[in-house]
Amino acid sequence: MIPIAKPYLTKKEAKAAYDTILTGWITQGPRVAEFEQKFAEYTGAKYAVAVSNCTTALHLSMIVAGVGQGDEVICPSMSYIATANSIKYVGAIPVFAEIDPANYNLDVHDVAKKITPRTRAILLVHQIGMPADIDAFRTLADKHGLQLIEDAACAVGSSYKGKKIGSHSSLVCFSFHPRKVISTGDGGMITTDNEEYYNRLRLLRQHGMSVNDRVRHESAKVIFEDHLEVGYNYRLTDIQAAVGIRQLEKLDQIITKRRRIAQRYHKAFKSIACLQLPLEKRGYFSNYQSYSVYLRDDCPINRNELMQKMLDAGISTRRGIMTSHRETAYKKEYSGLSLPVSEKSCDRSIILPLYIPMREEDIQKVIETFSSFFK
Ligand SMILES: *Cc1c(COP(=O)(O)O)cnc(C)c1O
């Protein structure tokens, strides 16, 4: 069976975890600090704050951005549900806007239409690793005095106009879940250029504690900590960070290889007229976290049938990105909402296997099997 995705982990990561365990310092400590510093360097951000996953990264970002009870935050419905959930956590209201079917990212014109006096922020997702047009959203956000928060869960190593994702805004959230391009099991990171945010994020991820464990541990004097506000336990462990450091070292190599496979798919499928393939415009650089293909109405096979046939042939695929407003958790509240572009994009797209290392014969098999249903 050809899987849909697989984390690229080797003995290097295993050894890093092993060595960390034997140091006796296993939760947030020196390795988390090193991972943060290297991540900030890699993305070109001023600061990076490691947290337990991207969902907690988004939650803390909402808090430091000042999003609260009754505020509206515009985001795509067509995203992993954690995007919308993070808005709910602070008592705010997700306002779902349409996406551009060419890249599954928010449609700036529809976002503009959904701004009201209660809008506080735009939560911009770089869907499946393809950067959104950050400048267009920055202009819109500035015009209306809104916060711009980036959900870059899938976009580590992607870049926009020559700069890595993570360096454009003051709150950018990443994920290291195994389904993403690099992984620490679970894990997350927030990059920021804002010192005030940086300090508050570090406080909030660790119970609001004024002194962190490491400082207290290394101090020659007795220190008593204070808890400055109601915080959370959203720490990353040092075991995870040690794995993350190793993963970060090979990120560019992973992306080069992922892009090569995406290119192979592109070349093989571009002559199939009823398919819409991922589009990487000039100035946009995707890490190809996923390779999603859209089936236009004139395709000879429907998406679900195609998924079953692929599975029968030993190839797992996934449906396109979900729409949050149609999930049970949101369905009732958003029953009056219709987002035809998002719904169609979700229902008619299919994600193909893409991981490192992917054997040549498996790439070939995906290409040949998939193409055969369009003859
Ligand atoms: C995966 C994902 C998340 C959640 O990331 P976790 O690290 O699993 O919490 C959030 N937003 C998007 C767009 C994602 O793809």
By annotation, the residues acting in catalysis are 180
Measure the CA–CA gap between 244 and 237, rounded to whole angstroms: 10
Measure the CA–CA gap between 198 and 109, rounded to whole angstroms: 32
Nearest CA to ligand 1 atom 2: 153
CA of 87 to the centre of ligand 1 (A): 13
CA of 306 to the centre of ligand 1 (A): 26
With H, G, I as helix, E, B as strand and everything else as coil, classify residue 227: strand
The preferred substitution site among 177, 184, 324 for testing ligand 1, maximizing ligand atoms within 8 Å of CB, is 177
CA neighbor of 81 nearest in space, from 331, 304, 293 = 331
- The position carrying tokens 């988390």 is 32
Nearest CA to ligand 1 atom 8: 177
For 274-283, write each residue's pLDDT tens digit.
999 999 999 9
CA of 329 to the centre of ligand 1 (A): 17
Give residues (CB < 6 A) around ligand 1. 53-55, 79-80, 82-83, 125, 151, 153-154, 175, 177, 188
Structure tokens at 314: 């030993």
Q: What is the DSSP string of 124-168?
A: EE-GGGPPP-HHHHHHHHHHHT-EEEEE-TT-TT-EETTEETTSS
The CATH superfamily holding the domain 252-372 is Aspartate Aminotransferase, domain 1 (3.90.1150.10)
Where does CATH 3.90.1150.10 sit in the chain?
A: 252-372
- 11-250: CATH class: alpha beta
Nearest CA to ligand 1 atom 5: 54
State the Cα torsion 267-273-275-276 to the nearest 10°: 80
Nearest CA to ligand 1 atom 1: 153
CA of 55 to the centre of ligand 1 (A): 6
- Which ligand 1 atom minimizes the distance to the CA of 188? 7
Is residue 77 within 8 Å of residue 84, measured between CB atoms? yes
The preferred substitution site among 54, 81, 183 for testing ligand 1, maximizing ligand atoms within 8 Å of CB, is 54
CA neighbor of 150 nearest in space, from 115, 128, 133, 125 = 125
Residue 295 pLDDT: 97
Measure the CA–CA gap between 337 and 344, rounded to whole angstroms: 14
Measure the CA–CA gap between 333 and 233, rounded to whole angstroms: 30
- The position carrying tokens 């900590």 is 225
CA of 165 to the centre of ligand 1 (A): 15
Q: What residues form DSSP beta bridges with 97?
A: 76
- Which ligand 1 atom minimizes the distance to the CA of 289? 15
Decide: residue 226, CB within 10 A, 0-12 exposed, 13-18 middle, 19+ buried. Answer: exposed
Where does CATH 3.40.640.10 sit in the chain?
A: 11-250
Nearest CA to ligand 1 atom 6: 54
CA of 324 to the centre of ligand 1 (A): 13
Longest dimension (CA), the chain: 75
The preferred substitution site among 80, 182, 232, 286 for testing ligand 1, maximizing ligand atoms within 8 Å of CB, is 80
The pLDDT averaged over each successive group of 10 residues in the chain (375 residues) is 97 98 96 98 98 98 98 98 98 98 96 98 98 98 98 98 98 98 98 98 96 84 92 98 98 98 98 97 98 96 97 97 98 97 97 97 98 96
Peptide bond into 357 cis (omega under 30): yes
CA neighbor of 101 nearest in space, from 242, 261, 293, 244 = 293
- Which ligand 1 atom minimizes the distance to the CA of 79? 13
Residue 213 pLDDT: 78
Measure the CA–CA gap between 97 and 112, rounded to whole angstroms: 9
